[in-house]
Amino acid sequence: MSLSRLLNKWSAVRDNARTVLAMNRRNLNYIYPNNHRRDFQIADDKLITKEIMQRVGVPVPQTFLTYRYFFDLRDLERDLGSLSEFVIKPAHGSQGNGIVVIDHNKDGIWYSIGGTAYTGQMLRKHLSDIIFGIYSFDLTDQVLIEERVHQHSEMNAISPFGLADFRVILHQDRPVMAMCRVPTRASQGRANLHQGAVGVGLDLATGRTRHANHITGPVTRHPDTGMALLDIPIPFWKEILEISILAAKAVPLKYLGVDISVSKTGPMLLEINVRPGLAIQMANFKGLRTLLEA
């Protein structure tokens, strides 16, 4: 790289750094002034989130079963016997911790999308850990067994290893920045950046991908398949934004992240987050600070 190109690149990085929203500024200027502490449970409890979203017509995955106490698990194998595929989630979990996606059942053994085999005893142990609070901020938690969302065929080209989702950050019910989180082999099919998924920045106006970042740094192609990740149109983009705005208006939280996936029938809300992470700036190679201050 020539000296002039290196200097230009450094100048762009320096200018972007001035626009970056840091954690302390996010907390003090946006999370706490816009979200009352008593309302955090709306986002922190996935069951409460679902109830609110269903009331306003926002599509969410169907809940099959819930478990609150250890003795509720006594008939677990019978409860799950009629389900060929499902998702296990902690009601109060975060960052994808504790989530298991079951792909199929064969001869009494359940298999995750990553190929891990679970006996009934292993599932009971995992659900007990969730109830005990291993994956949540609380001392105790609740288990959700819910519908597995199959993504729209148009998403398979950039996300062949699992369900991609879209994080939209909203301030005062207005979308500010968005990204698509694309699972990889390293993330074992989960759309969590800290587990190895790729963050792909999105143009809010057009819904096209414009920049991508992996744990190794900026990328232009999927690290496993080599498929191009940039300048790809996202299906149902208008509907994704509409659902994110509808969800934001349905709750008193006025700085939040909304997570949506595109199912075979269209966008479906997965959860909302009162403490949306800041890695979305890396995915977009653009800071949130200037956008929010504007």
Among 146, 161, 186, give the residue marking a domain's end: 146
Tell me whether residue 177 is in a domain.
yes
pTM comes to 0.89
Residue 267 sits in the same domain as residue 176: yes
Among 111, 146, 181, give the residue marking a domain's end: 146
Residue 116 sits in the same domain as residue 44: no
Residue 99 sits in the same domain as residue 226: no
The CATH number linked to 165 is 3.30.470.20
Tell me whether residue 220 is exposed, middle or buried, using C-beta atoms within 10 angstroms of its C-beta: 0 to 12, 13 to 18, 19 or more: exposed
User: Three-class SS of residue 275?
Assistant: coil
Residue 140 sits in the same domain as residue 74: yes
Residue 107 sits in the same domain as residue 35: no
What lies within 8 Å, CB to CB, of 235 at 6+ separation is 152, 154, 155, 262
Tens of pLDDT, residue by residue over 171-219, are 999 999 999 999 998 888 888 898 899 999 999 999 999 999 999 899 9
Residue 90 sits in the same domain as residue 132: yes
Residue 129 sits in the same domain as residue 86: yes
Tell me whether residue 91 is in a domain.
yes
Tell me whether residue 251 is in a domain.
yes
At residue 76, what are phi and psi to the nearest 5 degrees? -55, -50
Residue 78 sits in the same domain as residue 32: no
pLDDT surpasses 60 at 167: yes
Query: Which pLDDT score, from 0 to 100, does residue 136 have?
Result: 85
Query: Which pLDDT score, from 0 to 100, does residue 8 have?
Result: 57
Cβ-based neighbour number of residue 245 at 10 Å: 16
Banded model confidence at residue 294, pLDDT cuts 50, 70, 90: confident
The parent domain of residue 172 ranges over: 21-59+150-293
Residue 215 sits in the same domain as residue 282: yes
Query: In which element (H, E) is residue 181 found?
Result: strand 174-182
Residue 97 sits in the same domain as residue 192: no
Report DSSP state, residue 27. Answer: I
Residue 163 sits in the same domain as residue 279: yes
d(CA 165, CA 199): 10
Q: In what order do the strands lie in the sheet with 86-90?
A: 63-67, 143-146, 86-90, 100-106, 109-112, 117-118
Query: Which pLDDT score, from 0 to 100, does residue 1 have?
Result: 54
Domain count, the chain: 2
Residue 167 sits in the same domain as residue 182: yes
Banded model confidence at residue 3, pLDDT cuts 50, 70, 90: low
Could you tell me which residues are beta bridge partners of residue 67?
A: 143
User: In this prediction, what percent of the chain has a pLDDT beyond 90?
Assistant: 74
d(CA 98, CA 89): 6
Among 146, 177, 202, give the residue marking a domain's end: 146
Query: Which pLDDT score, from 0 to 100, does residue 17 have?
Result: 64
CA angle 216, 155, 264 (to 5 degrees): 145
